[in-house]
Amino acid sequence: MSHSPALLENLAHTVGTPFWLYEADVIRQRIAAIQSITSGEGLQARFAMKACPATKILQEMAAANIWIDAVSGNEILRARHAGHPAGQSPPVICFTSDVFRDNALDVVLEHGVLPNIGSPGMIRDLAAAGYRGKISLRINPGFGHGHVNSCDTGGPSSKHGIWYQDLPSVQAAAAAAGLQIAMLHAHIGSGPQFDELLANLNRLVAEFAALAPSLPHLEAVSLGGGIPHDYRNPAAFLPLEKLGALFATARQTLSDAASRPLRLEIEPGRYYVAPACTLVTRVSDVKQTQTNPKGPGATFAMVDAGFVDLVRPAMYGSYHGIEVVGRAPAEPTEPIVVAGPLCESGDVFTRDDAELLQPRALPRPLPGDLLTLRDAGAYGYAMSSNYNSIGRAPQIWLEPDGQLTQISRRETLADILKAETDLPL
């Protein structure tokens, strides 16, 4: 939805630009949609919190009984801070990774979190740390599809998970270490088409059903996330009821194969939050280059947001809808390249996955105009950085009744310097 220019200008005056604006009702609508397809017996939804780990959002998930998939020790601690319980009865927080980094192993042990391991050597790490108990295995089933090629989560080129043909040796290593395989997990991605997701999930269910009889301690199967969001057409209809039917049937198929009731899990991330957040930025200048033998000229709208805020377009050419705030839809448009302030040629929001400029048809902005970059809730603030010593932008929470809450402030230089030391070793 479009926000009123008055609201955005008021916020820009209050907190400065750029800033992030979250719509509580959109997040709750997406949570309710996932609840509707996981309401059956033995079905459980998680939130892949890496997509947007703000405490306020984690609290919304806790209130809705959406469990958590964490991928670092600090994500576990952030989930605990937001009210999600520790332990494995039930395993509300699951830790998924291919490497125990920093405090991850210690936090898993201290909080009794179910480790979902994606690399065989993690069994050695758990055993050496004295862990005895339940584990989950993340399997690379040999197929899958990310929303872009560089994000493939299954197949020979994917770093994620234990290659499916290595499962027998991993089972033996787990048994020797006193570890019980309580869950199987795979994340195969959504691919460009919803029907591809359905086909891949059915294929995955069949493969897990074939494995289930050989896993006497199996309690659950996770089909991962991958529910897509259409960035180019955010209002596009998504037939979630087909997923609901698939999950119910899959849970029964897997339970029959294991000869006992199993829990079926899913763990969307992007779907819950992508459409719920807008990055608001201000135009500083509009300038042009001219066509020469090297290539065509372009009109650049220079804004104060950059890939320190929203890195997805620079990282893999992702598309985000852009609007010039307060301009009438019927206004004439022209090709505009939207670029940021960073000392980096790739600091451009309008580019394709081949790193080529892809101007957007927009009304010609004027210095001082606000621009909005839409559908920025997933991997927006979560992937922001301090490149060029720039502080992360503030996050604002908007309730349906118009109540506004600042849920994080703009970072200062003091925040950036806080971790620097002059400590002899």
Task: Identify the pLDDT of residue 155.
Answer: 65
- If asked whether residues 146 and 286 sit together in one domain, one would say no
Q: Are 84 and 91 in contact (CB under 8 A)?
A: no
Question: Which of these, 23, 80, 9, 17, lies nearest to 407 by C-alpha position?
Answer: 23
How large is the average pLDDT for residues 245-252?
Answer: 96
How large is the average pLDDT for residues 71-81?
Answer: 98
Instruction: Cite the beta strand spans of 121-259 per DSSP E.
Output: 133-140, 162-163, 179-185, 220-222
For the record, the structure tokens of 61 come out as 């998930």
Share of the chain above pLDDT 90, in %: 86
How large is the average pLDDT for residues 355-380?
Answer: 96
CATH number at residue 174: 3.20.20.10
- For CA atoms 183, 68, 268, 73, the dihedral sign is negative
**Largest separation between any pair of C-alpha atoms in the chain:** 71
For the record, the structure tokens of 83 come out as 């009210």
- If asked whether residues 252 and 314 sit together in one domain, one would say no
Give the end of a domain, one of 247, 271, 295.
271
- If asked whether residues 255 and 343 sit together in one domain, one would say no
> Residue 185: is its pLDDT beyond 50?
yes
> Residue 1: is its pLDDT beyond 90?
no
How large is the average pLDDT for residues 341-352?
Answer: 94
Buried b (16+ CB within 10 A) or exposed e, 274-292: bbbbbbbbbbbeeeeeeee
- If asked whether residues 265 and 289 sit together in one domain, one would say no
- If asked whether residues 355 and 404 sit together in one domain, one would say yes
Give the end of a domain, one of 244, 271, 298.
271
Domain assignment of residue 66, yes or no: yes
Residue 66 — very low, low, confident or very high, per pLDDT cuts 50/70/90?
Answer: very high
- If asked whether residues 219 and 350 sit together in one domain, one would say no
Domain assignment of residue 294, yes or no: yes
Residue 147 — very low, low, confident or very high, per pLDDT cuts 50/70/90?
Answer: very low
Give the end of a domain, one of 220, 238, 271.
271
- If asked whether residues 289 and 377 sit together in one domain, one would say yes
CA 268/CA 265 separation, integer angstroms: 10
- If asked whether residues 256 and 284 sit together in one domain, one would say no
Domain assignment of residue 425, yes or no: no
> Residue 153: is its pLDDT beyond 60?
no
Calculate the alpha carbon distances from 36 to 179, 241, 247 in Å: 34, 8, 11
- If asked whether residues 265 and 283 sit together in one domain, one would say no
Tell me which residue range forms the domain holding 116: 24-271
Domain assignment of residue 304, yes or no: yes
- If asked whether residues 149 and 245 sit together in one domain, one would say yes
How large is the average pLDDT for residues 221-243?
Answer: 92
Domain assignment of residue 112, yes or no: yes
How large is the average pLDDT for residues 282-303?
Answer: 96
Question: Which of these, 157, 151, 154, lies nearest to 143 by C-alpha position?
Answer: 154
Task: Identify the pLDDT of residue 149.
Answer: 47
Catalytic residue, candidates 52, 94, 151, 343 = 343
How large is the average pLDDT for residues 28-43?
Answer: 97
Residue 148 — very low, low, confident or very high, per pLDDT cuts 50/70/90?
Answer: very low
CA 18/CA 176 separation, integer angstroms: 54
CA 256/CA 87 separation, integer angstroms: 28
How large is the average pLDDT for residues 281-294?
Answer: 96
Task: Identify the pLDDT of residue 154.
Answer: 55
Domain assignment of residue 421, yes or no: no
- If asked whether residues 267 and 278 sit together in one domain, one would say no
Question: Is 343 one of the catalytic residues?
Answer: yes
> Residue 50: is its pLDDT beyond 80?
yes
Which residues lie below 8 Å from residue 70, measured CB to CB, with a gap of 6+?
Answer: 49, 50, 76, 78, 79, 93, 94, 95, 96, 113
Residue 313's SS3 state is helix
For the record, the structure tokens of 238 come out as 């998504």
CATH number at residue 390: 2.40.37.10
* Total domains, the chain: 2
- If asked whether residues 99 and 237 sit together in one domain, one would say yes
The chain-wide mean pLDDT, for the chain, equals 94
Domain assignment of residue 422, yes or no: no
Q: What is the pLDDT of residues 132-146, one digit of tens each?
A: 999 999 999 887 655
> Residue 293: is its pLDDT beyond 60?
yes
Domain assignment of residue 155, yes or no: yes
Which among 194-198, 201-205, 235-239 has the top mean pLDDT? 201-205
Residue 265 — very low, low, confident or very high, per pLDDT cuts 50/70/90?
Answer: very high
How large is the average pLDDT for residues 190-218?
Answer: 89
Share of the chain above pLDDT 70, in %: 96
Residue 346 — very low, low, confident or very high, per pLDDT cuts 50/70/90?
Answer: very high
Buried b (16+ CB within 10 A) or exposed e, 302-319: bbbbbbbbbbbbbbbbbb
State the pairing for strand pair 395-398/220-222. unpaired
